[in-house]
Amino acid sequence: MFGPKDSMVQGLLQAMKPHARSAKDDDDHSAEVRHAEFNALVEQIARESTEPENDPEKSLKSGLIRLRDALASMPSTPSARHDVAAELVHLHAHTRRYWSVRRGDHHGAFTAEEIPVRENEVNSFGIGAEGASEQIVKQVRPEYKAGTAGGALLVWYKQEMSDPLQWVNANRRGCVVIPDVSCAYSPRPGVAVAKCGAREREAWLAHLAEHPEDPWPQHTGPWGPANAQRLIGSPVLDAFMAAHKAGWGTKFGGGRDEEDEPGRPRLDPDVLTWLLDRKHPEC
């Protein structure tokens, strides 16, 4: 989160940079000064959150909450939605478990051995099916990208996908993957970030409160498929893992609502309380 390279915070600072520089064009240095002060604060939070004598989990959560509050205190503009970034950081602060795709030799892409494809396997149905033989017509060498195994476990019912992890990033925003904080900032100053109005936020909070297990609808915010840190994890996923550890889902698989299986997943109240208490800023 607070690493010197390829971390969530570094991605946040990179997304904020153009908006700090744009203040010079209007002879208004306040945004530039705020950005410099924010950078200094982030460096301080990073140092204190990674001190070896501190509890890693508590220090990380405390540091992210401080980062959240710092973002929430900054005035938002149509193209720099610090308020949206603060809410995404808030979700990171309340996430206990993360998984990341490793790029080492033992966890990278993998090319399997060739698999023979027979004629009667290709022409199993339709015209020509009856005359198909067992002759091998092609040799296929499957290629698996990094993270295929983990992604397949998350979407075990979609085994035909060549890159299940990419599908998770694009289609499980909010419930499995927290959207990248860079989505709160327009690539160019002066261009407003879309879908950040009060109506969209109300729809997003209602969805999070009533259907946390479902992906966030695209119309409820500027959520994009980007996941620069390739992190898997969210408060919702934590809630489901905790419920399963306590026994929920082990009897009926969590899929029979009519059986009223006890111990259903419950989102941590602290996640919603802070979000619901906030007012939508006027940009």
**Sequence-separated contacts (24+) of 72-75 with Cβ below 8 Å:** 72/278, 74/34, 74/38, 75/281
Structure tokens at 159: 């085994």
Q: Which residue has the higher pLDDT, 122 or 109?
A: 109
> What digits encode the pLDDT tens for the residues 259-273?
566 778 889 999 999
Distance CA 35, CA 148 (A): 39
CB atoms < 10 A from the CB of 132, how many? 15
What average pLDDT does this structure show over 79-99?
A: 94
Three-state SS annotation for 247-263: CCCCCCCCCCHHHCCCC
Q: Which residue has the higher pLDDT, 279 or 88?
A: 88
Decide if pLDDT at 131 tops 80.
no
Decide if pLDDT at 195 tops 90.
yes
Q: Which residue has the higher pLDDT, 150 or 204?
A: 204
Among 29-43, 44-58, 223-237, whose mean pLDDT is lowest? 44-58
What average pLDDT does this structure show over 219-224?
A: 91
